[in-house]
């Protein structure tokens, strides 16, 4: 019997599998343990699953951001090089005709031109090369991050502080509603929505969006006082 919220649990499992290399083993273990507990509890609610996603996401963000900062700067160039090394010369020339103009390789694969310009066998060759290249680059990036351990630790510390700063801004917004029962519920709902960004299946919280909400509610509460 499937869990009533199996789709959310499946999302959780996929997100765990996609945690970046160098995510601390204890965090991966915690995520797997939470997933196992929730999967085994037929009464686990959608809210409990989202809380688990948010808890793990809040903890993994510094490691993901640090990893991306170390490895993503030249990722497209490295991806193309590894992919081109796996392509037949004719296919390579066709693909390079697009990428030399700044087209991102994976964007090209998703575009109508990919089907128009390449045969079925050629498209399969490109897709296979990308999948294999992604595996290679993950391994390379893992090695690069290990070699630059000090820089990685500094980036983790930076993003840990940055995440705490953003959460502090959300907390500030939530506290603004404490003195006005009329708006407290709505402000709490806004804060809950912003905090959903910590989830490992959602987009990261946006400082710009948080600032806009603080400015908006400052105006609303000031007008209410008048």
The whole-number average pLDDT for the span 192-207 is 92
Distance CA 148, CA 75 (A): 17
**pLDDT tens profile 151-178:** 888 999 999 999 999 999 999 999 998 9
The whole-number average pLDDT for the span 215-222 is 91
The whole-number average pLDDT for the span 140-151 is 69
Helix (H, G, I), strand (E, B) or coil at 78: helix
- Render the burial of 79-114: b for 16+ CB within 10 Å, e for the rest: bbebbbebbeeebbebbeebbeeeeebeebbeeeeb
- Is it the case that residue 22 has pLDDT exceeding 70? yes
The whole-number average pLDDT for the span 119-129 is 91
**Stronger pLDDT, 73 or 192, i.e. the higher one:** 192
**pLDDT tens profile 53-107:** 999 999 999 999 988 887 665 667 778 888 899 999 999 999 888 887 777 787 7
- 209 contact partners, CB below 8 Å, separation of at least 6: 194
Report residue 41 as tokens: 């509890």
The whole-number average pLDDT for the span 174-202 is 92
pLDDT, position 71: 66
Whole-number percent of the chain with pLDDT over 70: 90
pTM of the predicted model as reported, rounded to 2 decimal places: 0.67
């Amino acid at each position: 019997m499937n869990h009533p919220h199996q789709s959310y649990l499946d999302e959780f499992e996929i997100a765990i599998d996609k945690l970046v290399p160098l995510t601390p083993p204890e965090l991966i273990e915690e995520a797997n343990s939470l997933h196992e507990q929730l999967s085994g509890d037929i009464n686990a609610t959608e809210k409990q699953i989202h809380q688990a996603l948010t808890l793990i996401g809040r903890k993994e963000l510094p490691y993901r951001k640090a990893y991306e900062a170390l490895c993503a700067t030249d990722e497209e160039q490295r991806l193309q090089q590894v992919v081109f090394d796996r392509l037949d010369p004719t296919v390579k020339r066709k693909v390079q005709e697009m990428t030399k103009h700044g087209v991102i390789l994976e964007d090209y694969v998703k575009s109508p031109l990919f089907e128009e310009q390449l045969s079925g066998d050629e498209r399969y060759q490109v897709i296979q090369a990308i999948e294999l290249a992604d595996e290679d680059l993950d391994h390379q990036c893992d090695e690069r991050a290990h070699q630059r351990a000090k820089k990685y630790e500094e980036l983790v510390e930076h993003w840990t502080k940055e995440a705490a700063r953003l959460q502090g801004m959300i907390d500030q917004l939530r506290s603004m509603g404490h003195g006005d029962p009329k708006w407290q519920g709505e402000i709490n709902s806004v804060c809950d929505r912003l905090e959903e960004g910590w989830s490992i299946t959602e987009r990261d919280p946006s400082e710009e969006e948080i600032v806009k909400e603080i400015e908006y509610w400052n105006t609303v509460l000031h007008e209410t006082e008048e």
